[in-house]
């Protein structure tokens, strides 16, 4: 191909591109007759005044426990499960016994506590005696200091072992009786620290467990979260603080977070809502349908068929009928539905907006096609 011919084609393409960009960035009139509109399959409908407050956004999802309300009860010491005293889905109160273990490790801790408590008693008596001897000038200050150090170490050792027994579930009164009665007991009771529901049991009677092994999963009583699934367009219309209502629940919740990314598999946006008192009307894992509405004041707009919207260069347009043809008019979408949408812009009552054949109009608008001048 000759160089001058290639240059003319490139210049023509650049001109066409400039034309397309210019049309996409500003409203443009399309001169087209009624007969041409009919052949292009273009139909019109009147717009109606409307207001929107974020209503009409219905999302599906499920009720879940917040992670902060889930607690794993673990074994404080190694042992063998003697009895499981709860069942899955039971309601428990703080202090309720969940599992009873036979723990040789607990027996060893008790023996060490008794031994350390006895050593502490001897250290106290020795310290008292050396204090008296030092005051009489019989022993040196270094010996007294050494005795005091031994007393401190004995007390620390007893405190450490006491804390281990407390973590194992022994009360202070039971710990104090060990040294006096020497009643060592390998039975270890694991109790609940909260009011809630048993979600899962992780052990059975006769099973051997190590220290720190999970025994049960509990959910603290209180609120539930709703994890709702929204499309990209719906996610753009929802804001934190919007009200969330369910038909089964009297009390409304609110949107607390919107995922910044979309799920790869479903291409949906997760919307999280908090619903206080939801345990009275929902169960965790239950499928729900929620309605989301905005707290902000309603915005005035115009109701149009959703098919009338045309997207170009990141903006929304509609084709409005006027004398001698149609005009592409930029609008802002306030609420988007499957059949009807609410928009704002330079619109007036009784305007006619194209609802079918918009693809053909868009092509003409962007210079990709032109109406036939001789069409009847």
> Is 360 inside a domain boundary?
yes
Asked whether 64 and 284 are in contact (CB, 8 A), the reply is yes
pTM above 0.95, yes or no: no
Q: How far is it, in rounded angstroms, from Cα 252 to Cα 295?
A: 12
Q: Which of 345, 282, 333, 356 is nearest to 57 (CA)?
A: 333
List b or e across 205-230, with b for residues whose CB sees 16 or more CB atoms inside 10 angstroms: eeeebeeeeebbbbbbebebbbbbbb
> What pLDDT does residue 179 have?
67
CATH number for the domain harbouring residue 38: 2.40.420.20
| Backbone phi and psi for residue 13, each to the nearest 5 degrees, phi listed first | -65, -40
> Is 233 inside a domain boundary?
yes
197 shares its domain with 160: no
Domain end, chosen from 221, 247, 280, is at 221
Asked whether 30 and 329 are in contact (CB, 8 A), the reply is no
Q: Around 34, how many Cα atoms within 13 Å sit in the side-chain half-sphere?
A: 2
Q: What is the tens place of the pLDDT at every residue in 275-284?
A: 887 878 888 8
99 shares its domain with 193: yes
Domain end, chosen from 277, 293, 309, is at 293
Q: What is the tens place of the pLDDT at every residue in 255-274?
A: 999 998 888 888 889 999 98
Asked whether 209 and 104 are in contact (CB, 8 A), the reply is no
215 shares its domain with 118: no
> Is 245 inside a domain boundary?
yes
215 shares its domain with 84: yes
Report CA Rg, the chain. Answer: 39
Q: What is the tens place of the pLDDT at every residue in 296-326?
A: 545 567 888 888 888 888 888 999 988 888 9
In total, how many domains does the chain have?
Answer: 4
110 shares its domain with 177: yes
> Is 190 inside a domain boundary?
yes
CATH number for the domain harbouring residue 99: 2.40.50.100
> Is 11 inside a domain boundary?
no
Domain that holds residue 283: 57-66+223-293
Taking phi first (over 0 means left), then psi (-120 to 50 degrees means alpha), and beta for anything else, what does residue 2 get? beta
pLDDT tens digit at each of 376 positions of the chain = 443 443 443 444 344 433 443 343 344 688 888 888 888 888 998 888 875 554 557 889 999 888 888 999 999 888 999 999 999 888 899 989 999 999 888 888 888 888 888 888 899 999 999 999 889 888 899 998 999 999 999 999 988 888 888 888 787 877 877 766 666 888 888 989 888 889 899 999 999 999 889 999 998 887 789 999 988 877 887 888 888 988 888 888 899 999 988 888 888 899 999 888 787 888 888 899 888 886 654 556 788 888 888 888 888 899 998 888 898 888 888 776 667 788 888 888 888 898 888 888 888 888 776 555 443 3
Q: How far is it, in rounded angstroms, from Cα 167 to Cα 163?
A: 6
> Is 239 inside a domain boundary?
yes
Q: How far is it, in rounded angstroms, from Cα 63 to Cα 349?
A: 44
Q: How far is it, in rounded angstroms, from Cα 315 to Cα 309?
A: 10
128 shares its domain with 252: no
Question: Exposed, middle or buried: residue 261 (CB in 10 Å: 0-12, 13-18, 19+)?
Answer: exposed
> What pLDDT does residue 376 have?
35
Q: How far is it, in rounded angstroms, from Cα 13 to Cα 22?
A: 14
Domain end, chosen from 197, 221, 245, is at 221
Place of tokens 């200050």: 141
> What pLDDT does residue 217 have?
93
195 shares its domain with 76: yes
């Amino acid at each position: 191909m000759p160089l001058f011919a290639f240059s003319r084609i490139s210049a023509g393409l650049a001109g066409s591109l400039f034309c397309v960009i210019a049309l996409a960035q500003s409203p443009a009139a399309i001169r087209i007759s009624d007969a041409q509109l009919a052949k292009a399959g273009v139909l019109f409908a009147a717009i109606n005044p409307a207001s929107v407050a974020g209503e009409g956004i219905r999302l599906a999802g499920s009720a879940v426990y917040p992670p902060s309300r889930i607690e794993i009860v673990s074994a404080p010491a190694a042992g063998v499960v003697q009895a499981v005293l709860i069942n899955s889905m039971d309601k428990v109160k703080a202090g309720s016994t969940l599992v009873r273990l036979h723990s040789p490790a607990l027996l060893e801790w008790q023996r060490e506590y008794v031994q350390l408590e006895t050593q502490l008693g001897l250290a106290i008596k020795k310290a008292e005696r050396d204090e008296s001897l030092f005051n009489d000038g019989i022993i040196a200050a270094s010996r007294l200091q050494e005795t005091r150090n031994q007393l401190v170490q004995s007390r620390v050792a007893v405190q450490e072992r006491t804390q281990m027994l407390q973590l194992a579930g022994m009360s202070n009164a039971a710990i104090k009786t060990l040294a006096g009665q020497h009643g060592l007991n390998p039975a270890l009771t694991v109790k609940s620290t909260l009011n809630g529901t048993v979600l899962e049991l992780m052990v059975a009677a006769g099973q051997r467990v190590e220290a720190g092994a999970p025994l049960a999963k509990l959910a603290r009583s209180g609120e539930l979260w709703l994890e709702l699934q929204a499309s990209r367009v719906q996610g753009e219309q929802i804001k934190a603080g919007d009200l969330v209502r369910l038909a089964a629940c009297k009390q409304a919740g609110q949107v607390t977070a919107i995922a910044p990314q979309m799920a790869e598999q479903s291409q949906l946006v997760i919307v999280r809502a908090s619903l206080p008192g939801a345990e009275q009307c929902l169960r965790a894992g239950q499928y729900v349908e929620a309605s989301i509405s905005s707290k902000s004041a309603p915005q005035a707009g115009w109701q149009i068929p959703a098919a009338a919207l045309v997207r170009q260069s990141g903006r929304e347009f509609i084709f409005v009928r006027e004398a001698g043809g149609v005009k592409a008019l930029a609008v802002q979408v306030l609420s988007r539905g499957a059949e009807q949408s609410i928009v704002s812009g330079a619109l007036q009552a009784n305007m006619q907006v194209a609802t079918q054949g918009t693809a053909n109009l868009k092509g003409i608008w962007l210079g990709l096609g032109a109406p036939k001048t001789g069409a009847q």
